[in-house]
Amino acid sequence: MSDNNTNSKLYSFLILFSNWLSAYTSPFIIAVAVITFFFPELFAWVTGYLQTYILGFIMLTMGLTLTVQDIKTLAHRPLDILIGFCAQYTIMPLIAYSLTVVFHLDTALAVGIILVGCCPGGVSSNIMSYLCYGDVAYSVGMTTASTLLSPMITPMLMLLLAGEKVEIDAIGMFINILIVTIIPITVGSLCNISLGHKEILKKAQKIMPSLSVLGLACIVGGVISLVHDDIAAGGFMLLLWTFLIVFCHNSIGYILGYLIGKIFHFNTAKRRTISIEVGMQNAGLATNLATHFFIVTCPLAVVPCAISCAWHSISGTILASFFAWSDKKKSHTRLRQLFSIIS
């Protein structure tokens, strides 16, 4: 009896911890990044294949959330998914490339921001869509579609947009993305579909968000540890300059994504979702690719990717909160109008 009670308390604690990490993902990632900058040895162990395994685990947790209904969404809403997919893989890569031209970025930073732009949608975008009363099914469908096709699309776009700046190992990138995205997502979704009714899997799914956040923190910490000396040499201005590029890339993506929704006469929920899906990228995947394929030729290419890891979570939370706040404001306005009519 005491063992069951202890296990129950431990599980309750893990649930609370998972909810806390989900609610404060951005501050937690930022705190890890700052601490690692001053104590780079903390995450010096997160290198090479271990980083790939961690990202693969994050993708596995995404797969564990996919259901048969989510798969059906891809088939039942092909036009919506196609519009979102095309917006994702045209707007963000072209914005990234345009920023490299406008700001005359050096090769390393240019490759980094283009890589972020060429990656699929971020895995936390589904949570943001839920928080702002968006179309969650559409969000899951867009994320799934962009991720499943990323092994082909991301290397192709990198060749097209960054091939003149640095040598691109397209085949290597294809294999890497396949390993860290498609295989784990497939395994996770098959487990959920076949074993989703099992109580132990249901319990595991509730603490998966915290494990994903911890995994992302390890990736960011490992990258900062790896390029610590280069960042320190560049100083505060390098970080500020890189953040400005990341901020512009991300913000313009949100705006143009929302405008695409208006052009195609999406309802409010779908406009919010496509805005978030377009603006938020899988910067964890970009970080992994930068570490594996550009760390020798362009070591600073990982800096925009690492900053994007933290900032996209922050900006996504801010945007979702703004959308939710606007709903409350409209609701209060309608109530005041109703009371004025009654009185």
Question: The CATH number of the domain where 281 resides is what?
Answer: 1.20.1530.20
pLDDT of residue 335: 47
CB of 245 closer than 8 Å to CB of 105: yes
46: in domain: no
pLDDT of residue 277: 92
55: in domain: no
Average pLDDT over residues 226-251: 84
Tokens of 190: 């098959």
257: in domain: yes
Q: Can you spell out the DSSP letters for 11-54?
A: HHHHHHHHHHHHHTHHHHHHHHHHHHHH-GGGGTT--HHHHHHH
Number of domains in the chain: 1
pLDDT of residue 338: 46
pLDDT of residue 330: 63
Tens digits of residue pLDDT in 242-265? 999 999 999 999 999 999 999 999
53: in domain: no
261: in domain: yes
321: in domain: yes
Q: Bigger pLDDT: 267 or 196?
A: 267
Residues with Cβ within 8 Å of residue 337, at least 6 apart in sequence? none
Tokens of 334: 């309608």
273: in domain: yes
Give the pLDDT band (50/70/90) at residue 98.
very high
Average pLDDT over residues 55-74: 76
pLDDT of residue 336: 59
Residues in the chain: 343
Q: Bigger pLDDT: 180 or 281?
A: 281
Tens digits of residue pLDDT in 212-222? 778 878 877 88
Residue 141 has pLDDT above 70, yes or no: yes
3-class secondary structure, 227: coil
Tokens of 280: 């938020």
pLDDT of residue 125: 78
Average pLDDT over residues 134-153: 85
pLDDT of residue 182: 81
pLDDT of residue 112: 94
What range does the domain containing 248 cover? Answer: 9-37+69-334
Q: Work out the percent of the chain whose per-residue pLDDT is above 70.
A: 91
Residue 305 has pLDDT above 80, yes or no: yes
121 — phi, psi (to 5°)? -65, 155
Average pLDDT over residues 234-238: 78
pLDDT of residue 119: 93
81: in domain: yes
Q: What is the pTM of this model?
A: 0.80
CB of 273 closer than 8 Å to CB of 134: yes
pLDDT of residue 77: 80
Angstrom CA distances, 169 to 143, 175, 290, 294, stand at 25, 10, 11, 10
Q: Bigger pLDDT: 339 or 22?
A: 22
